[in-house]
Amino acid sequence: MLNLLEESTTFRLGDLYDDYEVMAPCTMNTSHQVELAVGAYLHSIICILGLVGNALVIATFAGYKRTRSVTDVFLLNVAVSDLLFVAALPLIIYSEHWAWPLGGASCKLLRAAYSVNLYSGMLLLACVSADRYASVVHARRSLGRRSLLSCRLLCGLVWVLAVTLSLPTVLFYQRYRPAHSMPQDETERFPSNDSSEAGYVCDFQFPDENLAQTMKVVVPGLQMAVGFFLPLLIMLFCYAGVLRTLLGARSFQRHRAIRLVLLVVALFVACHLPYNATLLYETLHKFTLSSCGEADALQATKSATKGVAYLHCCLNPALYAFAGASFRSHFKKMVGDLFYMGGRLGSSRHRSRDTSNMYVSSRRSGASNASSFTM
């Protein structure tokens, strides 16, 4: 509903009123159908796979990777960022399509969590590519420099930068009731029942028009520059150097490593490039007039490509963590231990049940013997 209400177009009724410009909301039927389909199916898949996959990565690193490497620390932070992102995603989708029933503080907190994890996840993937570049291309020189302390400091810097970039979200996201949804009747405007939350949204709200125009360019510009183009450039540079080194190496695992590098880059571009290209087009045409059909098609494209971009947080565990032989061995050990513990628990319950049955049987036999003796 929010997208339907916030997208509007200016058109002139030339045949009827030559001197008036009328603002009217677009119907946005196509984008509404796309958003319903993406929300019902794609976002559900993203939430389920993202929660399960990243939770398994965190559990494996937390319990079975006690001697962590620099790469492990980066991957653990990526998994935490993705897990928090998919955990906030259902509420984000709800706030974009329906009224926001919670308070203003929760609105700011939710949007801040979304923004922080978006920035941190992308920047941490760039750190992973830089770490792989250092470990493959400059293996000897990087031995003394790739310390756990420097890695943790870099991860902390990434989180601080993500929080800083999310400050506009914290400052300008508000829970408010748009003017077009305000009730016309005074008894409706001040209802006696305080539980009525219809019409309230969680969205950007600015004190003046000039600031609104500036921030509506700055916020998506930062998201594209820091959240996509900068990580993409770092990944292309680093993985290009990794590929050159792998192509010159003589190893039976060379081809598998090359395929993995190409897959990582290809999926990153395939997931994030369509949405950022759509966001760039929308930002460049933010203040130009467009027809309802064009606005509807743009919003539908943005919704579909955004869902594809979100899909990347489900692929990160398979691309980064489960691709490593060391992680897979620890994960198999964790699963084996869980099955072993489950089997022991089941067998202990079975033994306790048998013991209880034997105890009841012995009590019954003892009672029978006692009764025969007293008779």
- The 3-class SS string of the chain reads CHHHHHCEEEEECCCCCCCCEEEEECCCHHHHHHHHHHHHHHHHHHHHHHHHHHHHHHHHHHHHCCCCCHHHHHHHHHHHHHHHHHHHHHHHHHHHHCCCCCCHHHHHHHHHHHHHHHHHHHHHHHHHHHHHHHHHHCCCCCCCCCCHHHHHHHHHHHHHHHHHHCHHHHHHEEEECCHHHCCCCHHHHCCCCCCCCCCCEEEECCCCHHHHHHHHHHHHHHHHHHHHHHHHHHHHHHHHHHHHHHHHCCCCCHHHHHHHHHHHHHHHHHHHHHHHHHHHHHHHCCCCCCCHHHHHHHHHHHHHHHHHHHCHHHHHHHHHHCCCHHHHHHHHHHHHHHHHHHHHHHHHHHHHHHHHHHHHHHHHHHHHHHHHHHC
Number of domains the chain contains:
1
- Is 148 a domain residue? yes
Q: How, if at all, do strands 201-204 and 173-176 pair?
A: antiparallel
- Backbone torsions φ then ψ of 204, nearest 5 degrees: -65, 140
Asked if 169 and 112 touch (Cβ cutoff 8 Å), the reply is yes
Short-list 42, 55, 30, 52, CA closest to 93: 42
- The label of the residue with tokens 């620390």 reads 73
Q: How far apart are CA 94 and CA 296, in angstroms?
A: 20
- Is 127 a domain residue? yes
Q: How, if at all, do strands 21-25 and 173-176 pair?
A: unpaired
Q: How far apart are CA 228 and CA 25, in angstroms?
A: 32
- Is 144 a domain residue? yes
Q: What is the pLDDT of residue 372?
A: 35
Q: What is the pLDDT of residue 326?
A: 74
- Is 337 a domain residue? no
Residue 172: other Cβ atoms inside 10 A: 18
Residue 329: other Cβ atoms inside 10 A: 11
Q: How far apart are CA 32 and CA 3, in angstroms?
A: 8
- Is 90 a domain residue? yes
Q: How far apart are CA 195 and CA 174, in angstroms?
A: 19
pLDDT by residue (tens digit) across 107-139? 888 888 889 998 999 999 999 999 899 888 887
Helix pair 70-97, 148-165: axis angle to 10 deg: 20
Q: How far apart are CA 25 and CA 23, in angstroms?
A: 7
Short-list 42, 12, 8, 14, CA closest to 28: 8
Token pair, residue 144, equals 């003394």
R_g of the chain computed on alpha carbons: 29
- Is 91 a domain residue? yes
Q: What is the pLDDT of residue 192?
A: 37
- Is 360 a domain residue? no
Residue ranges in the chain whose pLDDT is less than 50: 1-20, 22, 184-195, 355-375
pLDDT by residue (tens digit) across 10-24? 444 444 444 445 455
Chain CA centroid to CA 270, Å:
17
As a whole number of angstroms, the longest Cα–Cα distance in the chain is 116
Q: What is the pLDDT of residue 207?
A: 86
Long-range contact pairs involving 321-325 (C-beta distance under 8 Å, separation at least 24): 321/57, 321/60, 321/75, 321/79, 322/57, 323/260, 324/71
- Is 232 a domain residue? yes
Token pair, residue 88, equals 């906030």
Structural domain range at position 10: 2-182+197-310
Residue 277 belongs to a domain with what CATH number? 1.20.1070.10
Short-list 284, 98, 118, 294, CA closest to 198: 98
